[in-house]
Amino acid sequence: MATRMYTEFARYCQLINPAEDYAKEAAVWRDALRSKLGPGRHTILELGVGGGCNLSHLTDEFDAVAADISPGMIEQAKKLNPGVEFHVGDMRTIHLGRTFKAVLIHDAISYMQTEDDLRDAFATAAAHLEPGGVFLTLPDYVREVFKDPIVSVATRRDATTTFTYVEYTYDPDPADTTVETLFRYFIHESGTLRIEDDRHVLGLFPTQTWLKLLREAGFEAEALPYDVEGAHGAPLFRGVLKQAAGPS
């Protein structure tokens, strides 16, 4: 999962996915949390935080801790989220030794390529939640609405760089649980144009598989409609960790 976007090109993350583009999306996440947790400044953990764009719209209302497998992305996330505590770790294995009111995994969950990967990520979320805590996660795609190819192009600029990317997602083998996203980056800076390629392998599962595995992990699970511009038809999955059974 060490793609070039999250390693050598991590410094361009704000040109690939600017934080301001996440404001409406983060409002959906905030509402999904508030409807279960109620008012108050609750503690949240984001796994696979990436560049911290979605989180940056939540830290004014929640006390946040975050983790990501990429040190380079954490360095970028710190710039957007001062005061947040960060850890390097894989969402399938990290253990911080404490619990939170909510755990979030944004589209980084898409890099889980097998059902066992999902089971491990869901177990990590459950291990970091208080009973009754909320887990939110959002894959890029679900099987029943995926239609390839999916193509997008964007150009963004800052003071020194013009960054264009072409993104092409397709399913090379409909019999397995993965799809591929191919990126081509056109990076124009210091008077020089570089052209670079990047390949990402993402998981693709039916909605019912997500719900089944969430329930196996101890969550009361539901799939919420996700009507956000640019989304690809996948729902926002919300799980509430079941309360421990009392003495009989």
Structural domain contains residue 246: no
Q: Are residues 16 and 30 in the same domain?
A: yes
Q: What is the pLDDT of residues 152-207, one digit of tens each?
A: 999 999 999 999 999 999 999 999 999 999 999 999 999 999 999 999 999 999 99
Structural domain contains residue 91: yes
Q: Are residues 71 and 98 in the same domain?
A: yes
53 pLDDT above the threshold of 80: yes
2 pLDDT above the threshold of 80: no
CB 237 within 8 A of CB 230: no
Average pLDDT, the chain: 95
Kindly report the pTM of this predicted structure.
0.95
The enclosing domain of 181 has a CATH number of 2.20.130.10
CB 53 within 8 A of CB 9: no
Mean pLDDT of 59-86: 97
Structural domain contains residue 119: yes
The enclosing domain of 11 has a CATH number of 3.40.50.150
Q: Are residues 158 and 50 in the same domain?
A: no
Q: Are residues 74 and 196 in the same domain?
A: no
Long-range contacts of 215-219 (CB under 8 A, 24+ apart): 216/119, 216/122, 217/119, 217/122, 217/123, 217/125, 217/126, 218/126, 218/242, 219/122, 219/126, 219/135
d(CA 209, CA 89): 25
pLDDT at 17: 93
Q: Are residues 33 and 117 in the same domain?
A: yes
Read off the pLDDT band of 229 (50, 70, 90). Answer: confident
d(CA 102, CA 141): 23
